[in-house]
Amino acid sequence: MPSAVFDRYPRYDELTGWLDEFEAAFPNLVEKTSIGRSYEGRELWLLTVTNHESGKPSEKPAVWLDGNVHASEVTASVALVHLVDHLTRSYGSDPQVTRALDTRTFYVVPRVNPDGAELARSEVPWLVRGSVHPWPHADQLDGLIVGDIDRDGRMLQMRVTDPNGAWKSYPSDPRLLIARDPDEDGDGPYYRLLTEGRVQNYDGVLVPTAPERAGIDPNRQFPYKWERKVESPWDAGEYPGSEPEIAALLAAITERKNICAYFAYHTFSGVHIRAYSDQADEAFAADDLWTYRFLGDMATELTGYPSISGYHDFRYHPKSVIRGVGTDWAYDHLGVYAWTTEFWNALRAAGLDDAHPLEWFRTHPLDDELRLLAWVDENVPGGYVDWYPFDHPQLGLVELGGWNSELVFRNPPPHLLEAEIAPHSALATRVALSSPELRHRDTIVDPLGDGVWRIRVVVENAGWMSTSVTRRAVDAGYVLPLVGRIELPEGASLASGTPRVELGQLAGRALKQNAVRQFHLISDGTDDRTVAEWVVRAEAGSTCRVEVAHDRAGAVRVDVELR
């Protein structure tokens, strides 16, 4: 059986080994391929998880899941391995999982940014957010460069005694730094707070923050309203998909026309973020927004994570918006329901349930921080580090310590990891089973006389989503209609019409499960059903082959005997 465990964060070689083991242990369920190579040449692994014996992966509705596009957000990789483990171990014993793998496909890319993750997880880690590609300049510019200066495997903070510092020790717990009062002056001691690292070309006076040498954020690289922001520390690169990792994602996703839902796994905040990031909910077709909210409520019920709007609820600054995001692209361009799952919220774990995942870090009551510190002391050894002296090569004597952000905030402490990620495997399964599913309902053959027959093949959408998935997919012209084709036996011919017929889109149950229908005279109708019909001239007893197929809902094939 695979050796994957969920109490640590693997580096690239170990992660690759886990994926190989899944393919070897479950050859009928797991196929491992590469969708491309990273900037430094590492393979970008894709696992296609489905029952390969029940049909081609491309002919089943699918969910795409990827993660670890941001280098240090390694929870995402482990969560996706957990999903593969959950699906493969539960197949045959869990009816939901068994049905999901028999009728649906899961496309899983556990680590989109292997180069950055290697740096983030190295023995002497460096803080890397995005691509390792040097950008927008090849040289490291002067200033404070974040890093593990004392090479102890941690990136902490440096406090420097400074009469003009903004911080002071909290009297009841001197480890904790609190802000000076607006009117406060005196002897202090006061501290200037810096990130741990070295100062390149220090002039003895100024300590500016050095621009990141690798400054491309891969989650600003998608085509949806892509824009350059050269003044930002996290640029969007040369053009959409200019980085090989995102180019590989774009190609792999658009090649797989059966994708109906998209999850991008990140950290941290403990939320599911839906489109849009840059415009209000009024931009949605009402049907799509209602469905998005319903699915979001289901996600919250299963995982405990609130489902929120990127624009309304998750903005880093009230005057700015984010563009070029993967989930916005997936909804707006492809017309699929898409979420950014931000794993882990240390504030919520500490009992600060009302803390906003972004605003709290800008301002919060001191009592909140004391509660968080108490929780960390009890549950996360090493999560807050007592200040200790260090002879800095440029700054002289400083103190290192404070919050160990990587251990407390960015990813769950390893002993809490599995409990955090497990509910999301169940969510992915349930969303997959909510996708459209084409089924054969009936075949009707009417003899019209003189060797002429009317053939009607009735199909229906047995899924919850419509075959188009969203209204946006139709409006954008991305999704094709249901298509029926007939193959005639030798000597037969069509009495009228063409072998290929377009049958439009089929509704699902999503918008029919509206409570108002129960209280008013509103009919469900049969817009989830259609008929592929032909009139053929053929000998009695001969057989016609009919296929009705849809990119996102699968295919139905029947042999029709003329009797």
State yes or no: pLDDT of 317 exceeds 90: no
Sign, CA dihedral 461-466-468-469, equals negative
Integer angstrom CA distances of residue 79 from 24, 110, 396, 476 = 20, 8, 42, 32
pLDDT, tens digit, 9 for 90 and up, residues 323-355: 889 999 999 999 999 999 999 999 999 999 998
From 129-133, 222-226, 230-234, 440-444, the region with the lowest mean pLDDT: 230-234
The first and second tokens of residue 358, run together, are 């972004």
How far apart CA 130 and CA 110 sit, in angstroms, is 16
Spell out the domains of the chain, with CATH numbers in brackets.
Answer: 12-121+215-344+413-433 (3.40.630.10), 143-210+380-405 (no CATH), 438-561 (2.60.40.10)
The whole-number pLDDT of residue 208 equals 92
What residues have CB less than 8 Å from 106, skipping those under 6 apart?
47, 48, 49, 50, 62, 63, 65, 83, 84, 87, 100, 428, 432
How far apart CA 381 and CA 393 sit, in angstroms, is 29
The whole-number pLDDT of residue 132 equals 86
pLDDT, tens digit, 9 for 90 and up, residues 193-203: 999 999 999 99
Cβ distance 386 to 402 under 8 Å? no
The whole-number pLDDT of residue 233 equals 54
How far apart CA 506 and CA 509 sit, in angstroms, is 10
**Average pLDDT in the 309-331 region?**
90
Peptide bond into 136 cis (omega under 30): yes
State yes or no: pLDDT of 435 exceeds 60: yes
| CA terminus-to-terminus distance, the chain | 52
b/e per residue 311-341 (b: at least 16 CB within 10 A): beebbeeeeebbbbbbbbbbbbbbbbbbbbb
Cβ distance 100 to 433 under 8 Å? yes
How far apart CA 544 and CA 541 sit, in angstroms, is 10
pLDDT, tens digit, 9 for 90 and up, residues 441-465: 999 999 999 999 999 999 999 999 9
Q: How confident is the model at residue 232 (pLDDT cuts 50, 70, 90)?
A: low
**Average pLDDT in the 409-426 region?**
96
What residues have CB less than 8 Å from 214, skipping those under 6 apart?
116, 128, 130, 131, 132, 133, 134, 135
State yes or no: pLDDT of 67 exceeds 80: yes
The whole-number pLDDT of residue 230 equals 57
Phi and psi dihedrals of 453, rounded to 5? Answer: -135, 140
How far apart CA 252 and CA 275 sit, in angstroms, is 21
pLDDT, tens digit, 9 for 90 and up, residues 357-412: 889 998 999 999 999 999 999 999 999 999 999 999 999 999 999 999 989 999 99
What residues have CB less than 8 Å from 390, skipping those under 6 apart?
149, 150, 158, 397, 398, 399, 400
State yes or no: pLDDT of 293 exceeds 70: yes
The whole-number pLDDT of residue 319 equals 82
State yes or no: pLDDT of 524 exceeds 90: no
How far apart CA 181 and CA 13 sit, in angstroms, is 50
From 104-113, 211-220, 253-262, 270-279, the region with the lowest mean pLDDT: 211-220
User: 496 or 257, which is more confident?
Assistant: 257
The whole-number pLDDT of residue 515 equals 54
pTM: predicted TM-score of the whole model, two decimal places: 0.95
The whole-number pLDDT of residue 513 equals 67
Strand pairing report for 62-67 and 105-109: parallel
pLDDT, tens digit, 9 for 90 and up, residues 165-218: 999 999 999 999 999 999 999 888 999 999 999 999 999 999 998 887 777 899
The whole-number pLDDT of residue 234 equals 63
pLDDT, tens digit, 9 for 90 and up, residues 485-511: 999 999 999 998 899 999 999 999 987
